[in-house]
Structure 1
Amino acid sequence: MNIDLRGHLALVTGGTGQLGRAMCRTLAGCGADVAVHYHRDAAKAEELTAEMQAQGVRAMAIQGDVTAEADIRAMRDAVTAQLGAPDILVNNAVIQYAWTTVLEQDIAAYEGQFRSSVLQNVLMAQAFVPAMIARGGGRIIGINTECAMQNAPTQSAYVAGKRGMDGVLRVLAREIGPHQITVNQVAPGWMISENVPDDEQAAAYREGVPLLRRGTAQDIANMVAFLASDLAAFVSGQYISVSGGNVMPTI
């Protein structure tokens, strides 16, 4: 059983980050055309786009601020003009900030997380879902986090934004489900990354994971590809942890 996304067009926000690049490459590897959103790193976006085009799919880089309505609508118009209307949205971009306690956290961090976690998903839906409805189907995949279930010290702004995102996407799943559009969330654990290698500082975390290891960006990309495919046509409204069992949503 193969994941075949030929004939589909995906738009990945935050496509130049480590998770974003893995998702773009994997979706392209499954045959999807891909629009790579970036905020600042144009060179990396163009390099990734060229790489995917060399694989035989259509691809483009698109710049924008996913917290700004005008930018998202401009992104929609540019992608539609060049590649067509996306039927797969992967809302992955998020604002980075320095974590600290609730008592010390800058209010701007809470505002930034609201804008990049909640408002991004609202604006992306408003811009792109009408074309999915006209098409008769689509996929929306939000990238959440295991932190939304952990509620650990210093995570408050991040957790607040991602829990708000969870609420929006669950409601959206009910609202647009009749149009055969699925809405799901992938929640990574503390994945191995360029900035956070799998060194001895991560030993305590690894020991608490049932699989006794940390995952990779490819683990997240694999789940995204599955949810984007026809294999997941009857999966919607879900928060799916990809954390090696570190967090386990309950029934």
Structure 2
Amino acid sequence: MVNIDLTGKIAVITGASGQLGRVMARTLAQAGADIAVHYFGNRTKAEEIASEIRSLGVRSIAVKADVTDLTNVLDMRNTIRQQLGDPHIVVDSAVVQYDWKTVLEQPIEDYVSQFKSCVLHNVNMAKAFIPAMQERREGRFIGINTECAMQMWPTQSAYASAKRGMDGILKVLAKEVGAYGITVNEVAPGWTYSDNERKNPLDDSGYVQSVPLKRRGTDQDIANAVLFLASDLASYITGVYLPVCGGNEMPCI
């Protein structure tokens, strides 16, 4: 039997108090990893997640940072290093939320916020955490992208453009750090079912009809893909944009 065992590994997950991040944190912890639960605004939820993870028998701390600010990210790195050690796994899940509008209606500030939270976020995390991975000569760097980066439907411009920029950054990074045994990959969720919608379901019938598997993905589906890419099973996979959207988007050769 093949099992994914992350015992002895340390992971930092940005946005780990959020809808998808909290399930990623639980899933990697269930595989044995120690978890740094990053948050920006929701300290109560982050502390709750960290406490839940500690009950699994692994270490966990909640850490606050503005991921768009390099100084903040470096301070977070120092805290994680002191309390847990240098992470083997980085998962960049945090993103700024905003109202989607047409290009002509979308405020410039939204393009700036998306660039910062998708592109600079990943740059800052790389600058902070990749050097220790290089010294160790192993590491997993995983960015959470989106199917929207391929769809580019009306009103997606700020989000899709930033996520496409993120894709470019991470593909370059994959080529730059591969010789150190570090993999760099992306998981691209579709419209994903999570805690918020379990409490307040939305009409998703139109979307589901477009999905070949005829269902919405769940937060656990996304976390499972992250777990795989974080594991030794994915040690020869790098530079990948992996849609986890039931086939709603299929990259072609």
Give the share of equivalent positions with the same residue, in percent: 57
Structure 1 SS opposite 2:184:
strand
| 1:81-135, Cα deviation, whole Å (9 max, x unpaired) | 0000001000000000000000010000000000000001001101110000011
Counterparts of 2:202 and 2:166 in 1: how far apart (Å)? 33
Q: 1:241 is aligned with what amino acid?
A: P
Structure 2 SS opposite 1:212:
coil
- Cα distance, 1:199–1:53 mapped onto 2, change above 3 Å: closer
1:207 correspondence with 2:204:
no
* TM-score normalized by the length of structure 2: 0.97
Q: Residue 134 of structure 1 corresponds to which residue in structure 2?
A: 135
Kindly report which structure 2 residues correspond to 1:161-176, keeping only aligned pairs within 5 A, or say none: 161-176=162-177
Structure 2 SS opposite 1:67:
coil
1:119 correspondence with 2:123:
no
- Cα distance, 1:222–1:3 mapped onto 2, change above 3 Å: same
Counterparts of 2:115 and 2:242 in 1: how far apart (Å)? 21
Counterparts of 1:194 and 1:223 in 2: how far apart (Å)? 18
User: Which of 86-95 and 185-194 deviates more?
Assistant: 185-194
Counterparts of 2:224 and 2:19 in 1: how far apart (Å)? 14
Cα contact 2:19–2:196 (8 A) shared by 1: no
Cα displacement (A) at 1:201:
2.1
| 1:15-65, Cα deviation, whole Å (9 max, x unpaired) | 001100000000000000000000011111111111110100000000010
Q: Which runs of 5+ in 1 are unaligned?
A: none
Kindly report which structure 2 residues correspond to 1:43-54, keeping only aligned pairs within 5 A, or say none: 43-54=44-55
RMSD: 1.0
Please point out which of 221, 229, 232 is paired with 1:227: 229
Q: Residue 94 of structure 1 corresponds to which residue in structure 2?
A: 95
Kindly report which structure 2 residues correspond to 1:6-85, keeping only aligned pairs within 5 A, or say none: 6-85=7-86
Q: Residue 147 of structure 2 corresponds to which residue in structure 1?
A: 146
Counterparts of 2:178 and 2:127 in 1: how far apart (Å)? 15
Q: Residue 6 of structure 2 corresponds to which residue in structure 1?
A: 5
Q: Residue 218 of structure 2 corresponds to which residue in structure 1?
A: 216
Counterparts of 2:75 and 2:131 in 1: how far apart (Å)? 15
Counterparts of 1:109 and 1:170 in 2: how far apart (Å)? 24
Cα displacement (A) at 1:151:
0.4
| 1:163-210, Cα deviation, whole Å (9 max, x unpaired) | 000000000000000000000000000011344458562101001100
Q: Which runs of 5+ in 2 are unaligned?
A: none
Counterparts of 1:105 and 1:196 in 2: how far apart (Å)? 26
User: Which of 186-195 and 96-105 deviates more?
Assistant: 186-195
Structure 2 SS opposite 1:16:
coil
Provide the aligned length of Structure 1 versus Structure 2: 251
Counterparts of 2:47 and 2:138 in 1: how far apart (Å)? 29
Counterparts of 2:223 and 2:5 in 1: how far apart (Å)? 14
Q: 1:164 is aligned with what amino acid?
A: G
Counterparts of 1:16 and 1:52 in 2: how far apart (Å)? 12
